[in-house]
Chain A
């Protein structure tokens, strides 16, 4: 446990990076996944198949591969982002494929009658989406999105093989130097569980707040 105490600052810095990476990636995944989800239900077949192709491609790949390819392919396209940003992009692209499907199935849980009622009172398609469908869809999406948050948090660990010194990277470097695997990995587990637990708690509260009592 000495190593953990001596290098607590470093470990916390790494944890901070993990948290930041998680939050930014998850937010980006929500935006990208949201756009894809809209494409998935769009009236244009081209957009629907684009989104479907994206989902089926990215979701069938291991996260490690997605992230490594993002880090090394983007510069080849003339886009050299910082490593942090590249890993964020890779992680977000991966999670977005799941978010897209959550959004789509969330919208499918809203009965069709809702849309027809909205249309009957004269709402436009986008008003209907914004005021009627999405608010209701959101309810059934909170739990799976919470799962996705946890997945993002755990997924940040692949950053350590792409040059980002987040929690698991710090832990592994300390382990190479001091050879105290059990203490180091135990402390990392505690921090990861803390992060995912926080995600779970927020999800639970959100769900309670959004719940409608019938």
Chain B
């Protein structure tokens, strides 16, 4: 039962400053204050086992329960403490269950759980309708990411350029892209550009604003990732005679990308969610088609929204699974190189979608 909190936590955005602070504390890794392995804190899979930890000193490698103060806030319980916690867990679980029961009861009383209301969703034609909308959402999302990611990487590197003539304008563009509300960029593409004589189909009216917005965020992610990499890496590159571009391409970027994967996936989730702005430009994405279906079914629209919600959650969950799979494929647990908290997308600005 305790896996999520422990493992999800390992990816917390952590500023490099703090990592360095942690580095200076030369305490043995299995910290004395670490909770003793109890039923609650059973050691997870072998990947996180102490034996696999990186031998070099430095920030803790791999995933661990909760970093920093959060992990040691509560003392490891004694025998009585364990009993109390078990009691507390049972009580909390009972409360949650009671709450869920009340919710279901109320929904039932209002007839929301009647089979007649859910039955339309079992029809193949209706599912086909929703899933073709899902296809449109995916298409817009994937294309946005496929264009935005490399462009963002380029912009991030330009901003890191040692020539001020390049880095300053690149920085200005990135900051501008990040600060414009996406909804209004979409409206600008719909209403503003045509008056300047530029026409494009709804797909691009939706995708280009998402790309522009994504470029700003991806650029910041890359920049932060590159900056967070230990200086020794690039210095070693220069020492063996590589040029700046080669150092970036061969040494810095591969490491940064691997470490940044979770944040990149977070940004991808956002791009997918941003496609719900498609209703503005008449793009038939999932949320819009959910509205159409809800309207057609007259009184069963809550059921339709439920399915749309499930699809979104499943989709984004699959995305994070994909990230993990890629991580294991690259054969190494991610290094604790993280962007600074204020640029990490999982805590960044979600748009008005």
Q: Which residue of A lies closest to B288 (CB)?
A: A64
Determine if B101 is an interface residue (Cβ-Cβ < 8 Å).
Answer: no
The reply to whether B276 and A65 form a contact with Cβ atoms under 8 Å apart is yes
Determine if A17 is an interface residue (Cβ-Cβ < 8 Å).
Answer: no
The reply to whether A196 and B96 form a contact with Cβ atoms under 8 Å apart is no
For B1-42 the 0/1 string (1 means CB < 8 A from A) is 110110011001111001001100100000101000000100
Q: Which residues of the other chain, A, contact B146 by a CB distance below 8 angstroms?
A: none
The verdict on A111 contacting B347 (CB below 8 Å), with A44-B92, A65-B308 known, is: no
The reply to whether B74 and A61 form a contact with Cβ atoms under 8 Å apart is no
A-B contact count (CB 8 A): 220
Q: Which residue of B lies closest to A66 (CB)?
A: B309
CB distance from B75 to the nearest CB of A (A): 7
Determine if B129 is an interface residue (Cβ-Cβ < 8 Å).
Answer: no
Q: Which residues of the other chain, A, contact B69 by a CB distance below 8 angstroms?
A: 107-108, 110-112, 114-115, 132-133, 136-137
Report the Cα distance A59→B353, complex, angstroms: 12
Instruction: Give which listed residue, B40, B107, B184, contacts A189 with CB less than 8 A.
Output: B184
Q: Which residue of B lies closest to A106 (CB)?
A: B341
Instruction: Give which listed residue, B77, B273, B308, B341, contacts A144 with CB less than 8 A.
Output: B341
B interface size (C-beta, 8 A): 75
CB distance from A126 to the nearest CB of B (A): 10
Determine if A13 is an interface residue (Cβ-Cβ < 8 Å).
Answer: no
Instruction: Give which listed residue, B5, B269, B342, contacts A48 with CB less than 8 A.
Output: B5
Instruction: Give A residues with C-beta under 8 Å from B.
Output: 40-53, 56-57, 59-65, 68-69, 72-73, 76-78, 94, 98, 101-102, 104-116, 119, 125, 128-129, 132-133, 136-137, 140-141, 143-144, 147-148, 150-151, 154-158, 168, 181-182, 185, 188-189, 192-193, 196
Instruction: Give B residues with C-beta under 8 Å from A.
Output: 1-2, 4-5, 8-9, 12-15, 18, 21-22, 25, 31, 33, 40, 66-75, 77, 85, 88-89, 92-93, 96, 103, 106-107, 109-110, 112, 179, 181-184, 187-188, 191-192, 195, 269, 273, 276, 287, 301-302, 305, 308-309, 312-313, 315-317, 341-342, 344, 346-353
